[in-house]
Amino acid sequence: MTDAPRSPVLCLASASPRRRDLLATIGVAVEVRPVDIDETPRPGEQAEAYVLRLAREKALAGARLSALPVLGSDTAVVCDGEILGKPEGPGHAATLLRALSGRAHEVLTAVAVTGPAGMLDACVATRVEMRELADHEIAAYWATGEPIDKAGGYAIQGLAAVFVERIAGSHSAVVGLPLYETAALLRRQGVPLWNGALPSGPMS
């Protein structure tokens, strides 16, 4: 017997299946309303300010499309203070992964939620250490198709898990959404978790 679909309690202003699936793991049914905003960093904009700005802009854009509380989020891979975007082709992907090979980098994920409490947001930094990558591994990884739309050119929850030696921080944030912080923001906005079994209110 299949459970009946649950009514959405949150609007997700993103087409990311990873964020939708992460919200599903904590029992939050969503309506998906992707938004289109300019994601170009501003001159001199630091990485944390950049991801927070995009998360807020996505949430505000989504709020024009839905009466539900709206969640926007953005993730950036940062190496030597530089934001590494999504690969534009195999050569660019190889450049990104060579920059990350054999060293640590930082993944910043911001989440913003609009609702009755106004605009609430948080930003989480996670340190990721990669082993040395051989050129043939980088080429084979690109051939799988997985890196195409991923910040920094890799997906920690996918095939690239074999490249990651260790992380310090939130694994779910590297995937696309820091669930601990997200849950706290959602409950402050009146959004229940666990398919309604955990009502809204302060985390304790």
Find the CATH number of the domain harbouring 154: 3.90.950.10
Task: Say whether pLDDT at 77 is over 90.
Answer: yes
Q: What is the mean pLDDT of residues 13-35?
A: 96
Whether 1 is in a domain gets the answer: no
| Tens-digit pLDDT profile for residues 47-61 | 999 999 999 999 999
How far is Cα 41 from Cα 54, in angstroms, rounded to an integer?
9
Catalytic residues: 74
In a domain, 16, yes or no: yes
Q: Looking at residues 163-174, what average pLDDT do you find? A: 97
β-pair type (30-32, 82-84):
unpaired
Overall average pLDDT of the 156-183 stretch: 97
pLDDT confidence of 5, banded at 50, 70, 90? low
**What is the model's pLDDT at position 123?**
98
Evaluate if residue 128 carries a pLDDT over 90: yes
3-state SS assignment for residue 114: strand
Q: What is the predicted pLDDT for the residue at 4?
A: 55
Determine, yes or no, domain membership for 91. yes
Q: How many helices (H) and strands (E) does the chain have?
A: 6, 7
* H-helix segments, 157-200: 171-175, 179-188
Q: Which domain holds residue 16?
A: 10-195
202, part of any domain:
no
Looking at the domain assignment, is residue 201 inside a domain? no
* Residue at 63 is within a domain: yes
Cβ-Cβ contacts under 8 Å for 102 (sequence gap 6 or more): 130, 131, 132, 133
Domain assignment present for 3? no
Residue 111 CA, chain-centre distance (Å), reads: 8
Average model confidence (pLDDT) for the chain? 94
Give the pLDDT score at 111. Answer: 98
Say if CB 193 and CB 187 are below 8 A apart.
yes
Q: How far apart are CA 4 and CA 9, in angstroms?
A: 15
Torsion, Cα of 102, 106, 107, 111 (10° steps)? 170
- What's residue 1's pLDDT? 38
69 falls within a domain: yes
Number of domains forming the structure of the chain: 1
In one-letter notation, the amino acid at residue 204 is S
Q: pTM for the full model?
A: 0.92
